[in-house]
Amino acid sequence: MGFSPDITERLARARADLRMGVPVVLDGGAVVLAAETLDAVRLAHLRGLGGDPVLAVTSWRAETLKARAYDGDIARITLPSDVSLTWVRSVADPADDLRAPMKGPLQTQRDGPADLHRAAIALTKAARLLPAAVVLPIDDATGFAANHNLTLVPADAAVDDGLSPLNPIISARLPLEVSEAGRLHIFRPDDGAEEHYAVEIGQPDRSKPVLSRLHSACFTGDLLGSLKCDCGPQLRGALAQMGAEGAGVLLYLNQEGRGIGLANKMRAYSLQDQGFDTVEANHRLGFEDDERDFRIGAEILKRMGFSQARLLTNNPAKVARMESCGVHVTERVPLKVGANEHNHAYLATKAAKSGHLL
Ligand SMILES: Nc1nc2c(ncn2[C@@H]2O[C@H](COP(=O)(O)OP(=O)(O)OP(=O)(O)O)[C@@H](O)[C@H]2O)c(=O)[nH]1
Ligand SMILES: [Zn+2]
């Protein structure tokens, strides 16, 4: 191999390519373009290649579009022969669903395997783009990638659900308002994805359950003081409790928007302005209601030497995921701060649909 990128590194390249609008090639025999970043020049080129391209979307998006999802979790929508960029965008992006509801009837494919399409959607999600991809089957994937200087990735690696190893990079003293004995640790995954942080307060005893919080990044709540959610007060409340007890670990996981990225979260907010709740908005975009990977939090805690936690959360799913990843949660410590008139419906929806405890 020498200097050549391995599969994990090629996948990281593929995500970056899709974000820029550059196609990628799946070695099972398909060229993939993210619907969100597709441009007119590449769409024209794709049409010139002939063949039978489809727009792959998730079954959530298909449901909103009233398109049949024959492949279970995804649907393969046939591209019209005169397909335009506007058509691709409007099928992939729910922004104008209410203003321009008549997209259909949409034809979906039911014959043949959908593995490559599933891999294409996984790549767009991992790239934090809208989960929709134009997929064109091709015969000679290796030759096609070489001719066009495109990144070639194995389709099965794109859907592989393994957790990338997280490497501790550096930690340094960080005196905080809540405690002068603060320390910030940086963890970097092998797969080129986002780094995650651990804020250690005091010197927690590794042989006892540590007061901890798995906090998912929320730029709007944590930094801007948004009233649409309760993240900012939860972040500060958790740190304050750790400061008061003199010990704790807050994991700051860069899984913005429950794992869909900030741009998609803002798309969800725009849909919420149209009357959809937080769960419905995710679904209309084509996402699950929660796309986070809590194994990351468990892994970091274990790497830091902890096997038991007192977890600050109102979300029983977090407790269950920690347990299944080998961190014993001896106590769930409620974190009820930050309710206001703007986030009342948001918190009620999380309780009614996502199992949060009020
Ligand atoms: N997709 C989406 N994400 C949101 C929305 N509002 C907040 N978020 C994100 O939701 C996440 C909130 O994470 P947490 O507070 O750690 O988790 P939680 O599931 O609410 O559980 P708790 O531990 O009880 O707070 C953050 O990543 C926010 O960016 C929304 O309306 N849509
Ligand atoms: Zn928030």
145-200 pLDDT, tens digit each: 999 999 999 999 999 888 999 999 999 999 999 999 999 999 999 999 999 999 99
Instruction: Check pLDDT > 90 for residue 344.
Output: no
**Ligand 1 binding residues, C-beta < 6 A:** 215-218, 229, 231, 234, 255-258, 260, 265, 268, 278, 282, 313-315, 318, 356
CA distance 197 to 251: 6
Chain centre to alpha carbon of residue 351: 21
Q: What is the pLDDT of residues 301-337, one digit of tens each?
A: 999 999 999 999 999 999 999 999 999 999 999 998 8
Q: What is the pLDDT of residues 44-63, one digit of tens each?
A: 999 999 999 999 999 999 99
Peptide bond into 101 cis (omega under 30): no
Q: Which of 15, 61, 284, 292 is catalytic?
A: 292
pLDDT band at 345 (very low <50, low <70, confident <90, very high): confident
**Region 117-145: what's the mean pLDDT?**
98
Instruction: Check pLDDT > 80 for residue 272.
Output: yes
**At the topology level of CATH, where does 166-255+292-353 sit?**
Rossmann fold (3.40.50)
Q: Which of 93, 191, 222, 290 is catalytic?
A: 290
Mean pLDDT rounded to a whole number for the chain: 95
Give me the pLDDT at residue 225, please: 96
CA distance 99 to 195: 39
CA distance 7 to 17: 15
Give me the pLDDT at residue 1, please: 63
Closest CA to 258 of 305, 294, 303, 207: 294
**At the topology level of CATH, where does 7-158 sit?**
DHBP synthase (3.90.870)
Instruction: Check pLDDT > 70 for residue 114.
Output: yes
CA distance 354 to 340: 19
Length of the chain: 358
| Domain ranges within the chain, ordered by starting residue | 7-158, 166-255+292-353
Instruction: Check pLDDT > 80 for residue 102.
Output: no
Q: What percent of the chain has pLDDT over 70?
A: 99
Task: Please count the helices (runs of H) and the strands (runs of E) in the chain.
Answer: 14, 13
CA distance 136 to 31: 5
pLDDT band at 251 (very low <50, low <70, confident <90, very high): very high
pLDDT band at 347 (very low <50, low <70, confident <90, very high): confident
Domains 7-158 and 166-255+292-353 share a fold: no
Nearest CA to ligand 1 atom 24: 314
